[in-house]
């Protein structure tokens, strides 16, 4: 699908006077973060980007719960907090709404890092689990006005994800194990099973 066509589709959602939410889902390494940022850059002041990853539980809390080894799994996020923030964004009150942001260089979320002014008509949010119909995650799809799912060639997705883990400090062997047999593999299977909830399935962006 041509990127310009996606921009035009998003632009139709970004009409002044009513705040709309566009969600972009996909497995780890599918390119959803890159696509979301490109869209927001193309739309300029008409759009803002709020990423699901800002709702990662802090490392201290993951350690307390004993789930640090599964960081990135569905239950390692503040799901109600994410849903509540989406609701506030959708309501579009008179005040700036501040969203958190995940900083990969420190592997921690940072609160109030992303301001969304009330005059912004479109909020783009992206993440692995936006379309999942499992437990608390199913509340996310309800609040989204439109949802896209990015599903690219599997070999390319895997290669991208291994490269990402290596860039952020993992050994090649550790990265391959996580992507092919560990948490990332399990997550990808769950995420890909949720694609039927999307309004638009994107196999390639040209």
Domain boundaries defined on the chain: 3-150+195-201
Share of the chain above pLDDT 90, in %: 67
Looking at residue 1, its pLDDT comes to 86
Residue 165: predicted pLDDT:
77
Give the span between the Cα atoms of 70 and 77, in whole angstroms.
11
pTM for this predicted structure:
0.90
140-146 mean pLDDT? 97
The residue behind tokens 């390692």 is: 76
Question: What's residue 108's pLDDT?
Answer: 95
Residues 6+ apart with CB under 8 A from 14: 20, 43, 46, 47, 121, 122
Strands 108-116 and 97-103: antiparallel
Q: Sorting pLDDT into bands at 50, 70 and 90, what band is 115? A: very high
Cβ atoms < 10 Å from Cβ of 20: 20
Question: In sequence order, which ranges of the chain are alpha helices (DSSP H)?
Answer: 3-13, 32-43, 59-65, 79-91, 138-143, 154-167, 172-180, 183-192
Predicted confidence at residue 137, as pLDDT, reads 96
Mean pLDDT value of segment 49-75: 95
Q: Is the pLDDT of residue 62 over 90?
A: yes
| CATH superfamily of domain region 3-150+195-201 | P-loop containing nucleotide triphosphate hydrolases (3.40.50.300)
Per-residue confidence band for 130, with pLDDT thresholds at 50, 70 and 90: very high
What mean pLDDT is predicted for residues 69-96? Answer: 95
- Written as six digits, the tokens of 106 are 């420190």
Lowest mean pLDDT among 6-10, 126-130, 176-180: 176-180
* Contact (Cβ atoms closer than 8 angstroms) between residue 170 and residue 52: no
Q: Is 42 exposed, middle or buried (0-12, 13-18, 19+ CB in 10 A)?
A: middle
| Angstrom distance (rounded) from CA 135 to CA 204 | 30
Give me the mean pLDDT over the 182-206 stretch.
86
- Look up residue 99 and give its two tokens: 């969203």
């Amino acid at each position: 699908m041509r990127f310009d066509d996606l921009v035009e589709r998003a632009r139709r959602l970004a009409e002044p006077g009513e705040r709309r939410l566009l969600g972009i889902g996909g497995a780890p390494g599918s390119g959803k973060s890159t696509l979301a940022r490109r869209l927001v850059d193309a739309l300029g002041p008409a759009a803002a980007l709020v990423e699901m990853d800002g709702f990662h539980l802090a490392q201290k809390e993951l350690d307390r719960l004993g789930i640090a080894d599964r960081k990135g799994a569905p239950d390692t996020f503040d799901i109600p907090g994410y849903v509540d923030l989406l609701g506030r964004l959708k309501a579009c009150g008179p005040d700036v709404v501040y969203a958190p942001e995940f900083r990969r260089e420190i592997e921690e979320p940072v609160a109030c890092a992303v301001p969304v002014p009330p005059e912004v008509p479109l909020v783009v949010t992206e993440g692995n689990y936006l379309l999942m119909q499992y437990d608390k995650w199913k509340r996310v799809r309800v609040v989204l006005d439109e949802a896209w799912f990015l599903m690219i060639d599997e070999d390319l997705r895997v290669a991208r994800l291994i490269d990402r883990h290596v860039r952020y400090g993992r050994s090649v062997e550790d990265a391959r194990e996580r992507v092919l047999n560990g948490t990332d593999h399990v997550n990808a299977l769950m995420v890909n099973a949720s694609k039927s909830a999307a309004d638009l399935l994107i196999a390639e962006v040209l």
